[in-house]
Structure 1
Amino acid sequence: MPPMHEQPLPFITLPNWVKAASLCGFNIQPVFDELGIETDLIHLEHATISRPLLEQVMIQCVARARSQHFPFVLGETFAFDYLPDIGVFLATSPTLRDATRVFEWVRTLINPMIDVRLEEQDVVARLVLQQVDGGSSGMAAVYFIESIFAAVVKFARMLHDDIEHQSLLQFRYPQPPHVAAYAEFFRAPVVFLRPRNAVELPRALLDRPLGGGFPALHGQAEARVEQRLAQMPRRTGLVAAVESAFEHEPRLLGQGIERLAERLGLHPRTLQRRLRDEGEAFGELLDRIRYRLALRDLDDPRLDLEAISERLGFSDRRSFTRAFSRWAGVTPSGYRKGRD
């Protein structure tokens, strides 16, 4: 497995880069052409880009932007075009705490480097951007952090119209040359050379009811996102190796972590530790892969439920039905009827 800094990143945000460049007064196509980046919107869900190449794109875009600071515009124009149900989930969230579930999906779907975790201490809550080994460095790192925080603030404003006056933005890096743009864009206090990159806000805000709360639509959007994400393989890190092993040898699904570790040439404890480092637990990962493979197999009318149960490593059809109902909120038979 290549080191993390050599692993490709999903690039389904390509349309957002194009839009941000246009808003900043330049055409991004020459940048892509110069760097040899293929642009295929038809197969966007499979698009990837290397981290060094993405850094070059960012640096060139910052240099070409005429009227605005490109990372802020990129973050502000970010939208869940590929999974609009995430947008519905956010807009109908009953509380900010509930809305933070989106960061888990972003980490899985958009970019494993966008790893934002909620931390709580006394009367303070923080959305902390975790440090990931093998990330960008220098000004490229600053630009990516700026774009991530611009997106976080954008969606926070959408949910709570007074969020800036109750927030504090903290950054690890020194004050950049373009610091004046921070006050204009974030409209909130900003401090530098802090231990972590974080948005700090009163803890009480997390559970204050939001005006757009719509429980029925919120639950439906969550179910649709989970189902869609379950069908998408992870493409980076150890998780990708685990998913590949299960997909090529489905019999491993019912043989436990010891057999999987042997297949990957790792000690079981090493496998568990490395999965934790990627923010995964073996049981949750196993469920997600089984769910995705179940959705795929249920779309094949040639496979009956007994065969699918066996392929996925369940002891019997009843165990499979219970698990699938927990994942999808409907039985395997009900799912098939809904697809007809």
Structure 2
Amino acid sequence: MSWTDVMDTYTTAEEAPSQTEPRERARSLRAPEVTSTVHAGAFRHVVSVLEGAGLDPRPLLAAAGASETDLVDPDLRVPMARYVALWRIAAPRFPKGSLGLTFGASFELDHGNLLTYMAAHAATLGEAVLQADRYRHLVHEMLLPALDLEGGDACLRRVLHPSIGRIGAMAESIAATWVKSLSIYVGEAFRPREIWFQHPAPRDLRPYDEAFGCPVRFEMPETRMITDREELERPLRLANPRLRAYLEEQARIQLDSLPHENGLADRVRRLLVEELRGGAPSQDHIARRLALSPRTLQRRLKDEGVVFNDLLDEQRRALCDRYLQDRSLSIQEIAFLLGYTERSSFYRAFRRWTGGTPLELRKVDRDETGRSL
């Protein structure tokens, strides 16, 4: 079975990843809030890298509001805010180059977790990436990539919350871990075509050339790794269908047991923001992203007093208000970024929201403020 066959189990033809890159000005998309928890294994890996560089992690952990007891239980989950704080505190104190690049280069399978092992036993690279995306909440949604297909390109991407995107070392650790884990999976050095980061470029770019072996671009709208689409067909050296199926069942059990601090509705809202690019994500598609059945998603949203279509409409309206403030975006571009394939559909929705049209709203603002939005 090819990775594309696997992908069909996650998405229908109408819900396949977008083939069109949104305008770079879509960088204003609302990023996920830094909430919930992260797998303690990620915490332990940072500590081991710090110790390997001769640093005492205890005062750094204390400054981040954590302690060594947070690392004892391999199944423990630690508040994401502490993990981010540890990176913010430790990165400028790291004595040997980039903490993030060192973190990624030192990654091994035994540093991972259930999701890492499950991906390693997939049949192809594409299948591994899709499964990592589907169960990313076992680690944390911001630390694992979503897959986009754009022509002949395959793009692993993640829009990082600004508080993470500004911590260059943390963003670099994410991309470096992607590259190292894919190298382990295929059994040889994996070299992407291009890497993007959201933070400014450092003075010395040589470590990045050595780490990635490809052009690296900074101050981009998202963290991204670009490779050839055909790379997704590469077989994995540890492919084992029976073991992978068993591990996936365990992943489902763990995912279902995770506490949802901000409720399922908030998770759906964050996914809708990610997915609204040239087509409205369906409830079935969002359910698959959450590793839930559509019926379970519908039931759990109902328990929280909301329905999927209302959440979709809510996110579109909120983003529309922001996009209209950017005069450089045309109405057609705004419609695309909100997931409307036809301008007329966008106009009908906008009239339902406001009673007017987007152009009328821009004209009113210009008349009242004397400036153009």
TM-score by length of 1: 0.63
Match 2:260 to one of 209, 229, 235: 235
Q: Distance in 1 between matches of 2:45 and 2:96?
A: 18
Structure 2 SS opposite 1:158: helix
1:28 aligned partner: 57
Deviation at 1:190, TM superposition (A): 1.7
Match 1:136 to one of 149, 163, 177: 163
Amino acid at match of 2:35: Q
Match 2:309 to one of 269, 275, 286: 269
Q: Distance in 2 between matches of 1:122 and 1:194?
A: 20
**Contact 1:238/1:275, CA 8 A, preserved across alignment:** no
- Residue 163 in structure 1 maps to residue 163 in structure 2: no
Amino acid at match of 1:69: S
Deviation at 1:126, TM superposition (A): 0.8
Q: Which structure 2 segments of 5+ residues have no match?
A: 1-30, 268-294, 317-373
2:137 aligned partner: 108
Deviation at 1:30, TM superposition (A): 1.2
Query: In the TM superposition, what whole-angstrom CA distance separates every residue of 1:158-180 from its partner, at most 9, and x where no partner exists?
Result: 1232421x532123433223433
266 and 69 in structure 1: CA distance in 2 versus 1, 3 angstrom threshold: same
Query: In the TM superposition, what whole-angstrom CA distance separates every residue of 1:206-254 from its partner, at most 9, and x where no partner exists?
Result: 1133343333333333233333333x22434332889xxxxxxxxxxx9
Aligned residues: 258
Q: Distance in 2 between matches of 1:255 and 1:190?
A: 41
Q: Distance in 1 between matches of 2:43 and 2:296?
A: 40
124 and 105 in structure 1: CA distance in 2 versus 1, 3 angstrom threshold: closer
* Sequence identity (%): 20
226 and 79 in structure 1: CA distance in 2 versus 1, 3 angstrom threshold: farther
1:96 aligned partner: 125
Query: In the TM superposition, what whole-angstrom CA distance separates every residue of 1:251-292 from its partner, at most 9, and x where no partner exists?
Result: xxx99958954x53546633466799xxxxxxxxxxxxxxxx
Amino acid at match of 2:264: V
Q: Which structure 1 segments of 5+ residues have no match?
A: 243-253, 277-340
Q: Distance in 2 between matches of 1:91 and 1:126?
A: 19
Structure 1 SS opposite 2:157: strand
Spell out the pairing of 1:253-268 with structure 2 (5 A cutoff). 257=298, 261=302, 264-266=304-306
Deviates more, 1:145-154 or 1:65-74: 65-74
Deviation at 1:28, TM superposition (A): 0.8
Deviation at 1:155, TM superposition (A): 0.8
**Contact 2:120/2:239, CA 8 A, preserved across alignment:** yes
Spell out the pairing of 1:54-65 with structure 2 (5 A cutoff). 54-65=83-94
2:43 aligned partner: 14
TM-score by length of 2: 0.58
Deviation at 1:195, TM superposition (A): 4.3
1:67 aligned partner: 96
Query: In the TM superposition, what whole-angstrom CA distance separates every residue of 1:114-157 from its partner, at most 9, and x where no partner exists?
Result: 2511111221111111x25x5415642x2221111011001111
**Contact 2:198/2:219, CA 8 A, preserved across alignment:** yes
**Contact 1:85/1:225, CA 8 A, preserved across alignment:** yes
- Residue 152 in structure 1 maps to residue 178 in structure 2: yes
**Contact 2:156/2:224, CA 8 A, preserved across alignment:** yes
1:225 aligned partner: 251
Q: Distance in 2 between matches of 1:82 and 1:235?
A: 25
- Residue 119 in structure 1 maps to residue 154 in structure 2: no
Spell out the pairing of 1:162-201 with structure 2 (5 A cutoff). 162-164=189-191, 166-201=192-227
**Contact 1:93/1:99, CA 8 A, preserved across alignment:** yes
Deviation at 1:11, TM superposition (A): 4.7
Structure 1 SS opposite 2:264: helix
Deviation at 1:98, TM superposition (A): 0.6
Deviation at 1:79, TM superposition (A): 5.6
100 and 32 in structure 1: CA distance in 2 versus 1, 3 angstrom threshold: same
**Contact 1:116/1:128, CA 8 A, preserved across alignment:** yes
**Contact 1:173/1:194, CA 8 A, preserved across alignment:** yes
Match 1:86 to one of 102, 107, 115: 115
Structure 1 SS opposite 2:156: strand
120 and 85 in structure 1: CA distance in 2 versus 1, 3 angstrom threshold: same
Query: In the TM superposition, what whole-angstrom CA distance separates every residue of 1:283-313 from its partner, at most 9, and x where no partner exists?
Result: xxxxxxxxxxxxxxxxxxxxxxxxxxxxxxx
C-alpha RMSD of the superposition? 3.7
